[in-house]
């Protein structure tokens, strides 16, 4: 029997292959290719920290779980291991055979130890003794010094030794941890190299001077390694009394979770590799040997250090909608018409300006906002702090469980509370992932002396994170529509207070109505086709995994509904299967910017319903998160979203990948006129650089 859905983890690894293809693409600027190579490594780190850790936990529980794709954890882990080993081999081949030689030809050199000149060796020796030696702590392994507790993803060195020390000890092994304060890549002074940019790796410096850490001993081998650990957090709903306090305790332990992967340099002896695996309770399939540096993520900042514009994407200045270009009063602009912002092609500045104006405007009496990710340094949060200090009613629904942003969010919660804001940590067991900002403003006019309260909203598909809006594609809607305002107010009331869920007029909301409304909309297209009318569905999301929605899409395809799915990441649906999904086409677009907006289009018998959303089509987004889907009511904005968010990507023949029924992808090649959606949108929407 053919399995009707694909495996999530294997689909995620297919996505990494598509990202890696950017690093291999000669049309991508050279330093950006290096950056894509590093992004794959960063993505694989998180894949092991969360996804592989979860599979191993399922395997430990031995509950015989079989996923929708028919694989048990015991069957899946070897497939994951084989796939990752292949991806890593491709990464390093690209790095050493293609990218680094090309960079060297452009004057950006990563110098190997055997090529150091005498002057360079002297400078590096001084650097080691001045900057590194004082902060290094070698740990000899013996009964008094057991194997140290190593941080998740930290750089370490396993050293094999021969001889006895001053105390007569001869354990034969030691561990050297590279402190996080030390840079992993070191630039040599310009006068020491003919190339404009010459770098050496911290690991190379330590290898060259490791003898200085073990006086009188003979170093037989020095091997880089790092361990990746389970980084998922667990907070027991039945035990927790204070979520923030409980989460702080968990965060301290995150760096020391169970090991899930061991990376070692390929020169590591078999004896030492086996010893390390034993220490971390890992098996041979969990060992990843790599040539040279064990952590490519450390190179991700190099493009920013190198001032070679021709080796990077051309800079651009995000544009502004004409309606905001002409008006200094942002409240008047929103009252005049709904405003759509398309990031990163258009600026996020209007959202910042809206919050700044709200903090300063005496007529604004209340501000309510959801925060999932915002960063450690956020101008938006500073405006909220200032608004609270000025006595406005500021309520922030701050998601403490936003993965890897927990510490930053706890810090902002503390600052906001100190300023007098009301901080709510959502609903325990449901992450608040909706992107909502609501301002309540008292406005006078029309003979009403006391004024009336009007709601101004920003609803978005992406985070309130000014930095990521420069390289994530997202839509944001500025509106003061009364109906949408009433729904947004109701959502805030549900989250901050207590009470039963009510029926919303415009918004679809997880975990209550989102899945049922999505399925109902697809079934509406099925009904139209069966009644002799046209049926059409176009969806753009980051992931498509929810089984009931997939089943409904299969049903729609069989009924004759034409379906286009633009899914950046994992997709469990099999397109193009005869008798099941021959009317479904799936494509993924990978380019300069991270595709992030979620768009739903239903023909709806010619009414052309368009919705924007914070939610991907996954079980967690439908049932374990508070998510929002909001309609686009303005026909002018509908046309923009259709043109910019859907047709541009369906017509892309440069960065698009078509998915096949077996889960593989093939990249589209322009047969005539090249059409790159992101470049077209930059040309149309961005200001001049």
Cα separation, 426 vs 432, whole angstroms = 6
Report the pLDDT value the prediction gives residue 253, as an integer from 0 to 100.
57
Cα separation, 120 vs 186, whole angstroms = 12
Report the pLDDT value the prediction gives residue 167, as an integer from 0 to 100.
62
Query: 192 with 257, same domain?
Result: yes
Cα separation, 654 vs 651, whole angstroms = 9
Q: Which of 242-251, 359-368, 585-594, 608-617 has the least mean pLDDT?
A: 242-251
- Whether 315 maps to a domain, the answer reads no
Select from 598, 634, 646, 682 the least CA-distant residue to 323.
Answer: 634
Q: What is the mean pLDDT of residues 189-194?
A: 92
Query: 352 with 491, same domain?
Result: yes
- Whether 261 maps to a domain, the answer reads yes
Query: 213 with 265, same domain?
Result: yes
Q: What is the mean pLDDT of residues 91-109?
A: 97
- Whether 311 maps to a domain, the answer reads no
- Whether 312 maps to a domain, the answer reads no
Confidence tier at 237 by pLDDT (50, 70, 90): very low
Select from 231, 230, 213 the least CA-distant residue to 222.
Answer: 213
**Longest C-alpha distance within the chain, in Å?**
95
Cα separation, 409 vs 244, whole angstroms = 10
Query: 269 with 356, same domain?
Result: no
pLDDT score of 169 more than 80: no
Q: How much helix, strand and coil, in percent to the nearest 5, is found in the chain?
A: 40, 25, 35
- Whether 374 maps to a domain, the answer reads yes
Bridge partner residues of 436 (DSSP):
459
What secondary structure does DSSP assign to 579-624, as a single string? TTTTTEEEEEE-SSSEE--EEEEE-GGGT-EEEEES--BSHHHHHS
Query: 48 with 168, same domain?
Result: no
Report the pLDDT value the prediction gives residue 300, as an integer from 0 to 100.
92
Tell me the pLDDT tens digit for each residue of 117-142: 999 999 999 999 999 999 999 998 87
Query: 297 with 368, same domain?
Result: no
Most confident of 164-168, 418-422, 583-587: 583-587
Residue 432 neighbours by CB under 8 Å, 6+ apart: 370, 372, 397, 399, 426, 495, 625, 626
The DSSP call for residue 551 is H
Report the pLDDT value the prediction gives residue 247, as an integer from 0 to 100.
44
Tokens 């912002």, residue located: 341
In a 13 Å sphere around the CA of 247, the CA atoms on its Cβ side amount to 19
CATH classification of the domain holding 611:
3.30.870.10
CATH classification of the domain holding 100:
1.20.58.310
Query: 624 with 572, same domain?
Result: yes
Query: 423 with 552, same domain?
Result: no
Cα separation, 269 vs 239, whole angstroms = 46
Report the pLDDT value the prediction gives residue 166, as an integer from 0 to 100.
62
Report the pLDDT value the prediction gives residue 687, as an integer from 0 to 100.
85
Contact 409, 400 (CB under 8 A): yes
Q: What is the mean pLDDT of residues 457-471?
A: 94
Domain that holds residue 337: 322-496
Q: Which of 45, 77, 106 is the last residue of a domain?
A: 106
CATH classification of the domain holding 268:
3.30.1840.10
Q: How many CB atoms lie within 10 A of CB 245?
A: 10
Q: Which of 79, 106, 133 is the last residue of a domain?
A: 106
Select from 47, 192, 56 the least CA-distant residue to 125.
Answer: 192
Cα separation, 23 vs 17, whole angstroms = 10
φ/ψ region of 172 (left if φ > 0, alpha if ψ in -120 to 50, else beta) reads left
Tokens 């020391």, residue located: 256
Cα separation, 80 vs 63, whole angstroms = 20
pLDDT score of 291 more than 60: yes
Q: Which of 188-202, 408-422, 472-486 has the least mean pLDDT?
A: 408-422
Cα separation, 72 vs 99, whole angstroms = 38
660 noted as active-site residue: no
- Beta strand residue intervals within 614-664, DSSP E: 625-631, 656-659
Contact 217, 328 (CB under 8 A): no
Select from 347, 360, 432, 361 the least CA-distant residue to 396.
Answer: 432
Q: What is the mean pLDDT of residues 211-226?
A: 92
- Whether 314 maps to a domain, the answer reads no
Q: Which of 37-46, 63-72, 456-465, 592-601 has the least mean pLDDT?
A: 63-72
Q: Is 301 exposed, middle or buried (0-12, 13-18, 19+ CB in 10 A)?
A: middle
Give the H/E segment covering residue 206.
helix 202-209
Tell me the pLDDT tens digit for each residue of 491-528: 999 998 877 778 899 999 999 999 999 999 999 999 99
Q: Is 656 exposed, middle or buried (0-12, 13-18, 19+ CB in 10 A)?
A: buried
Query: 334 with 283, same domain?
Result: no
Confidence tier at 216 by pLDDT (50, 70, 90): confident
Report the pLDDT value the prediction gives residue 376, as an integer from 0 to 100.
78
Q: What is the mean pLDDT of residues 455-474?
A: 95
Give the H/E segment covering residue 516.
helix 514-530
Report the pLDDT value the prediction gives residue 240, as an integer from 0 to 100.
42
Report the pLDDT value the prediction gives residue 661, as an integer from 0 to 100.
95
Tokens linked to 454: 């009007």
**Global model pTM greater than 0.75:** yes
What is the 3-class SS of 93-141, one letter each residue?
HHHHHHHHHHHHHCCEEECCHHHCCHHHHHHHHHHHHHHHHHHCCEEEC
Tokens linked to 526: 């099925």
Report the pLDDT value the prediction gives residue 498, as an integer from 0 to 100.
76
Rg (C-alpha) for the chain, rounded Å, is: 27
Cα separation, 159 vs 174, whole angstroms = 5
- Whether 392 maps to a domain, the answer reads yes
pLDDT score of 92 more than 60: yes
Q: Is 180 exposed, middle or buried (0-12, 13-18, 19+ CB in 10 A)?
A: exposed
- Beta strand residue intervals within 230-335, DSSP E: 259-265, 287-290
Cα separation, 285 vs 292, whole angstroms = 20
- Whether 317 maps to a domain, the answer reads no
Number of folded domains in the chain? Answer: 4
Confidence tier at 688 by pLDDT (50, 70, 90): low
Query: 333 with 419, same domain?
Result: yes
Confidence tier at 80 by pLDDT (50, 70, 90): very high
Q: Which of 48, 76, 106 is the last residue of a domain?
A: 106
Q: What is the mean pLDDT of residues 188-195?
A: 92
Report the pLDDT value the prediction gives residue 500, as an integer from 0 to 100.
79
Query: 210 with 296, same domain?
Result: yes
Select from 649, 669, 585, 671 the least CA-distant residue to 21.
Answer: 669
Query: 156 with 65, same domain?
Result: no
Tell me the pLDDT tens digit for each residue of 17-59: 999 999 999 999 999 999 999 999 999 999 999 899 989 988 8
Q: How many CB atoms lie within 10 A of CB 240?
A: 13
pLDDT score of 289 more than 50: yes
Tokens linked to 201: 């790796």
Residue 516 neighbours by CB under 8 Å, 6+ apart: none
**Among the options 433, 458, 465, 596, which is catalytic?**
433
Cα separation, 171 vs 140, whole angstroms = 7
Cα separation, 348 vs 395, whole angstroms = 22
């Amino acid at each position: 029997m053919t399995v009707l859905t694909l495996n999530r983890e294997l689909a995620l690894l297919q996505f990494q292959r598509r990202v890696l293809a950017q690093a291999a693409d000669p049309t991508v600027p050279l330093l950006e290719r290096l950056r894509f190579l590093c992004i794959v490594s960063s993505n694989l780190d998180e894949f092991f920290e969360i996804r592989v850790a979860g599979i191993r936990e399922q395997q430990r529980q031995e509950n015989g779980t079989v996923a929708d794709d028919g694989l048990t954890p015991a069957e899946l882990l070897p497939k994951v291991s084989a796939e990752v080993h292949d991806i890593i081999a491709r990464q390093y081949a690209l790095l050493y055979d293609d990218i680094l030689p090309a960079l060297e030809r452009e004057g950006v050199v990563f110098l190997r130890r055997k090529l150091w000149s005498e002057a360079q060796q002297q400078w590096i020796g001084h650097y080691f003794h001045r900057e590194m030696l004082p902060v290094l702590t070698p740990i000899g392994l013996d009964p008094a010094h057991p194997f140290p507790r190593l941080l998740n993803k930290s750089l370490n060195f396993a050293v094999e030794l021969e001889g006895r020390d001053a105390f007569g000890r001869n354990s034969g092994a030691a561990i050297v941890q590279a402190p996080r304060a030390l840079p992993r890549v070191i630039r040599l002074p310009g006068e020491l190299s003919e190339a404009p940019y010459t770098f050496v790796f911290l690991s190379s410096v330590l290898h060259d001077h490791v003898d200085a850490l073990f006086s009188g001993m003979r170093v037989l081998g020095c091997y880089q390694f790092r361990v990746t650990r389970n980084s998922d957090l667990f907070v027991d709903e039945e035990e927790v009394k204070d979520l923030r306090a409980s989460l702080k305790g968990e965060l301290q332990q995150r760096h020391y979770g169970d090991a899930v992967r061991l990376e070692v340099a390929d020169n590591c002896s078999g004896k030492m590799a086996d010893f390390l695996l034993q220490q971390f309770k890992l098996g041979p399939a969990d060992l990843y040997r790599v040539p040279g540096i064990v952590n490519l993520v450390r190179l991700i900042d190099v493009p920013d250090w190198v001032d070679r514009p021709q080796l990077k994407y051309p800079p651009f200045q995000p544009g502004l909608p004409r309606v905001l270009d002409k008006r200094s009063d942002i409240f008047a602009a929103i009252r005049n018409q709904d405003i759509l912002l398309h990031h990163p092609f258009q600026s996020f500045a209007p959202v910042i300006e809206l919050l700044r104006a709200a903090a300063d405007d005496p007529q604004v009496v209340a501000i309510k906002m959801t925060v999932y990710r915002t960063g450690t340094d956020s101008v938006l949060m500073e405006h909220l702090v200032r608004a609270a200090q000025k006595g406005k009613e500021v309520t922030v629904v701050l998601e403490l469980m936003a993965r890897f942003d927990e510490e930053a969010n706890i810090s902002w919660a503390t600052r906001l509370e100190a300023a007098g804001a009301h901080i709510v940590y959502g609903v325990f067991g449901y992450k608040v992932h909706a992107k909502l900002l609501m301002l309540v403003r008292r406005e006078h006019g029309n003979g009403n002396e006391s004024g009336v309260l009007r709601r101004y909203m920003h609803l978005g598909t992406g985070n309130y994170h000014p930095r990521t809006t420069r390289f994530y594609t997202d839509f944001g809607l500025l509106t003061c529509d009364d109906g949408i305002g009433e729904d947004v107010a109701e959502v805030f009331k549900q989250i901050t207070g207590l009470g039963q869920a009510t029926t919303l007029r415009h918004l679809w909301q997880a975990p209550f109505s989102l899945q049922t409304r999505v399925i109902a909309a697809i079934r509406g297209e099925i009904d139209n086709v069966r009644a002799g009318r046209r049926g059409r569905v176009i969806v753009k999301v980051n992931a498509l995994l929810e089984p009931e929605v997939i089943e409904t899409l299969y049903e729609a395809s069989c009924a004759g509904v034409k379906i286009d799915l633009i899914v950046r990441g994992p997709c469990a649906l099999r397109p193009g299967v005869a008798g099941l999904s021959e009317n479904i086409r799936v494509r993924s677009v990978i380019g300069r910017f991270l595709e992030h907006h979620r768009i739903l289009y239903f023909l709806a018998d010619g009414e052309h319903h368009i919705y924007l959303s914070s939610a991907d089509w996954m079980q967690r987004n439908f049932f374990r998160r508070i998510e929002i889907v909001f309609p686009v009511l303005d026909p002018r904005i509908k046309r923009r979203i259709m043109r910019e968010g859907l047709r541009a990507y369906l017509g892309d023949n440069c960065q698009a990948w078509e998915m096949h029924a077996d889960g593989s992808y093939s990249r589209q090649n322009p047969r005539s006129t090249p059409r790159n959606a992101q470049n077209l949108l930059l040309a149309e929407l961005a200001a001049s650089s």
